[in-house]
Amino acid sequence: MEAATAPEAALGPTLKVKEASPADADGPRASPRRGAGSPLPQLLPPIEEHPKIWLPRALRQTYVRKVGDTVNLLIPFQGKPKPQAIWTRDGCALDTSRVSVRNGERDSILFIREAQRADSGRYQLSVRLGGLEATATIDILVIERPGPPQSIKLVDVWGSSATLEWTPPQDMGNAALLGYTVQKADTKSGLWFSVLERYHRTSCTVSNLIVGNSYAFRVFAENQCGLSEDAPVTADLAHIQKAATVYKTEGFAQRDFSEAPKFTQPLADCTTVIGYDTQLFCCVRASPKPKIIWLKNKMDIQGNPKYRALTHLGICSLEIRKPGPFDGGIYTCKAVNPLGEASVDCRVDVKAPN
């Protein structure tokens, strides 16, 4: 007679039934020929609750931990009377020097104080009760940071770009690489800036470098645990040279600004009072700069302390200091340069005060 198979345990674990004999089903019976001194048979208690394992949802996929982390897995199960819980790893018994197991009435705990990469593997929990057995499998992966990339070198520099190449790290950290992080630093500041993150190839081109600067580059490897602790730096610097610029000058005709004197503002006739200073103004344009000569009644008055002559930016002025009755007359301003001369006149009347 074959025992009935129990339903498969919920949430993934499996339930196995061993082939049972009539003796297993009905329990040991006393033989009619048993002697008076034979021991009494021991009956097995009836199974009130089939064994079943309740595997937490987080453990249905690979359970990932970092090197040095604690592994503390609590797996609930059922079975009555109390079933036997047994842990194995990859089909072999656990190393009790590294892994601790505590079995309770309704759960089993697997504990590793400081996980190492060697603790990775497929762990299986078996819950047995009589001829029935439920099993659950947990994949544990212990990872750490990858090693640094190898053999980074500067391949080429042109314009404002530089090309780099490197080889993958020798140690991936027991996990798949997520990519590489490429950084640059100019020699002036010495600060590192990331230009590429989670880049999957082993060669790249860094663009938009500043003309006139020199750059060093380094590359980190990255996996689920983080960036590698070290990063190789390029032995050579990328010098971004300024492009040689050739300026071509176009010939042009030099403009001749030479001009004979010409008065743009003439002198104005005026009437003044005896004893009151009077000023005369006119404007002249000429190139080269002309010589200014002041005349009174066609007589040169240069150097006479009674008069003060000034010329600034083509504006010519003559100050008559405290004019007297004999200071009236025709005043002339003459401008002379190598290209010619020009003159303007005005009448000045001096009256007695009322």
Q: What is the pLDDT of residues 137-194, one digit of tens each?
A: 999 999 999 999 988 999 999 889 999 999 999 999 999 999 999 999 999 999 999 9
Q: Domains (ranges, CATH) in the chain?
A: 49-143 (2.60.40.10), 150-240 (2.60.40.10), 259-351 (2.60.40.10)
Q: Please, which pLDDT band fits residue 41 given cuts at 50, 70 and 90? A: low
Strand locations in 241-305, DSSP E? 259-265, 270-273, 278-287, 291-296, 299-300
pLDDT of 244 > 80? The answer is no
CB proximity list for 160: less than 8 A, separation 6 or greater: 207, 208, 209, 210, 211, 240
**What pTM value is reported for the model?**
0.54
Residue 35 pLDDT more than 50?
A: no
Judge contact between 147 and 170, C-beta under 8 A.
Answer: yes
Question: In the chain, what percentage of residues exceed pLDDT 70?
Answer: 87
Q: Which pLDDT band, with edges at 50, 70 and 90, does 106 fall under? A: very high
CB 151 within 8 A of CB 167: yes
Structure tokens given for 192? 């590192």
Query: Burial level of 29, CB count in 10 A (0-12/13-18/19+)?
Result: exposed
Chain-centroid distance of CA 82 in Å reads: 59
Share of the chain above pLDDT 90, in %: 68
pLDDT higher than threshold 90 for residue 135:
yes
H or E stretch covering 319: strand 315-320
Both tokens of 217, joined, read 């580059």
Instruction: Decide the pairing of beta strands 259-265 and 278-287.
Output: antiparallel
Residue 285 has pLDDT above 90, yes or no: yes
For 27, half-sphere exposure in the C-beta direction (CA atoms, 13 angstrom radius) is 9
Mean pLDDT of 97-119: 93
Burial 238-247 (b: 16+ CB within 10 A, else e): bebeeeeeee
Bridge partners, 52 (sequence order): 78
pLDDT of residue 115: 94
